[in-house]
A and B are shown apart, each in its own frame.
Chain A
Amino acid sequence: MTQKDPKLLIQPGPQLRQQMTTPVVMRDVWYALTPATLAGIWFFGLGAFLVLLACIAGAVLVEWYFAPEEKRGYFLGDGTAILTGWLLGLTLPPALPLWMAFLGGVVAVGIGKTIWGGMGANIFNPALVGRAFLLATFPIAMTTWTAPGDFFTIPSSLFALPLMTGVVDTVTQASPLGMMKFEHIDTPFIDLLFGNTSGSLGETSGLLLILGGIYLWWRRDLDWRIPVGIIGTAVIFSLILFMVDADRYPGPVFTVFSGGMLLGAIFMATDPVTSPLTRKGTWIFAIGIGLLVVLIRVFGGFPEGIMYAILLMNAATPLIDMYTQPRVFGRELDQNE
């Protein structure tokens, strides 16, 4: 006796369903990443697209292989593996041999996520685990940046056989951060804004990354406190340093728009799995990342610090969550509070 268009639905709760499911959020992030990705492919050529595909292939393959057989469609359908591979690809140099990019994708999902128990159980951002692994494993290939070049030229280093070194035949050029750190050369702001500089695939175009962030914020997929906190802290800290000695330290604008700062702050630090749950905790998390980025960049050995900054604060997240738990309503204050 079921009606076609029932006036009264009788079913067990919950009757109200949240529209925001994981696949929906993941697709939003895809849309938000698309402009910056296309810009990266435009500047660095089709080779960049192949690097991205290799990362995604590695990530998806591992996700598929380790998923329970009857749930494989569901595990892949939520889009997290594709997103992890995609984000990893955006942090890689455009002339990285494809087998390394593929390995990065495998490590990102395998060691970064699956080993911890799958989505939602990992401590560290999977894409950054993949990148940290690649940076520690292939330090030379991971810091060989190519200058933006012809769209149809694919660097031959991409097709190095597995386990073999890729010989970079295109024009190499230090990234803006490297130039700043080792040679003290400033890069014009307009290049940093639109992305016409050397660097990782998807991190060069500041403007499009911010647009993607605004889209995510408008769709309520993103906690605005994290990017704002990170960038704000970095701006204040680097401004102080800049005022102390303008010749030695980069200015706040350069700090924000160079390297992976925006990509990390908007798309990686905001990963809901690896960032704190409470509001107070979120601020602590964001400020910690902002401070660490500038510290590592200015005083550390590496030109770029956003990756380690985020990974370090990921590690601190459970602790932050523990200490920022709000008092349960109706309960008395603890003795020592």
Chain B
Amino acid sequence: MAKEQLAYDEFMKGLWRENPVFVQVLGLCPLLAVTNSAINGLAMGLASFFVLLGSSILVSLFKSYIPKQVRISCFIIIIATFVTVVDYTLAAALPVIHKELGAFIPLIVANCLILGRMEAFASRNTLRMSVADAFGMGAGFLFALVSLGAVREILGVGEIFGFALFGANFEPWVIMILPPGGFITLGVMLLYFNWLEEKKNKIDKQLATEDGVN
């Protein structure tokens, strides 16, 4: 029972408390580059999710056989294997999206979020915990990509996943589908998350002092 609780905890940590984008601010390069529409964000998020999950499993399985001195190269080779799988799968199954994401699919290899989880978590924890962690972090990254892509698509072209929302008279916010729009949207979201965090800390502190008095 206690173990069950722990795995769930690892999952929620990645999805929310230590969200790779909104809290750790990792993996910004693909995040800013591909989120000009929700569907691109979703594809990128799922690709990263798969790579993260697969490499987490392999790394945590083979962690005792990977020599400490060359561990980074080993991680990269494992990650690159899964990225190649994703690359070819997307090219075969969804050529349009594959073309749209372009170089950013192969670049998942260099995503600091994935390498960071290998180094900090999968190579030190059991398979079970690593899978929970990969699920959480992958879902957190996916969540960030899709929400950023959705905001930018809604404001930038007035659509969500390709469905028009506002009718013909909509005035598109051109800046939102351009790179500055990505930075502005991400900045506002970070602001919001930090504000939530601060509010939560304040409440926690208040509760703690009240407990102390009682």
Which A residues form the contact surface with B (CB < 8 A)?
97, 100, 111, 115, 133, 136-139, 141, 160, 163-166
Q: How far is the CB of A103 from chain B (nearest CB, A)?
A: 9
Pair A165/B174 contact, Cβ less than 8 Å: no
24 inter-chain pairs at a CB distance below 8 angstroms, sorted by A residue, are A97-B171, A100-B171, A115-B187, A115-B191, A133-B175, A136-B178, A136-B180, A137-B173, A137-B174, A137-B175, A138-B171, A138-B173, A138-B174, A141-B171, A160-B171, A163-B158, A163-B166, A163-B170, A164-B166, A164-B169, A164-B170, A165-B169, A165-B171, A166-B171
Q: Which residues of A contact B166 (CB under 8 A)?
A: 163-164
Binary interface profile of B, 135-178, with partner A (CB < 8 Å = 1, else 0)? 00000000000000000000000100000001001110111101
Which B residues form the contact surface with A (CB < 8 A)?
158, 166, 169-171, 173-176, 178, 180, 184, 187, 191
Q: Which residues of A contact B180 (CB under 8 A)?
A: 136
**20 other contacts beyond A165-B171, A166-B171, with CB at 8 A cut-off?**
A97-B171, A115-B187, A115-B191, A136-B175, A136-B180, A137-B173, A137-B174, A137-B175, A137-B176, A138-B173, A138-B174, A139-B174, A141-B171, A163-B158, A163-B166, A163-B170, A164-B169, A164-B170, A164-B171, A165-B170
Pair B170/A136 contact, Cβ less than 8 Å: no
Docked complex Cα distance between A165 and B158 (Å): 12
Docked complex Cα distance between A277 and B192 (Å): 35
Q: Which residues of B contact A97 (CB under 8 A)?
A: 171
Docked complex Cα distance between A141 and B174 (Å): 12
Q: How far is the CB of B160 from chain A (nearest CB, A)?
A: 14
Q: How far is the CB of B154 from chain A (nearest CB, A)?
A: 10
Nearest-neighbor residue (CB-CB) of A140 within chain B: B171
Docked complex Cα distance between A139 and B171 (Å): 10
Nearest-neighbor residue (CB-CB) of B171 within chain A: A165
Docked complex Cα distance between A111 and B170 (Å): 24
Q: Which residues of B contact A141 (CB under 8 A)?
A: 171
Docked complex Cα distance between A194 and B144 (Å): 53
Nearest-neighbor residue (CB-CB) of A139 within chain B: B174
Docked complex Cα distance between A136 and B166 (Å): 21
Most A Cβ at <10 Å: residue of B171, B176, B178, B187:
B171
Pair B174/A111 contact, Cβ less than 8 Å: no
Q: How far is the CB of B180 from chain A (nearest CB, A)?
A: 7
Nearest-neighbor residue (CB-CB) of B168 within chain A: A165
Q: Which residues of A contact B175 (CB under 8 A)?
A: 133, 136-137
Q: Which residues of B contact A137 (CB under 8 A)?
A: 173-176
Q: How far is the CB of B113 from chain A (nearest CB, A)?
A: 26
Q: How far is the CB of A101 from chain B (nearest CB, A)?
A: 13
Q: How far is the CB of A115 from chain B (nearest CB, A)?
A: 8
Nearest-neighbor residue (CB-CB) of A165 within chain B: B171
With A111-B184, A136-B180 known as contacts, the answer to whether A163 contacts B171 (CB < 8 A) is yes
Q: Which residues of B contact A111 (CB under 8 A)?
A: 184
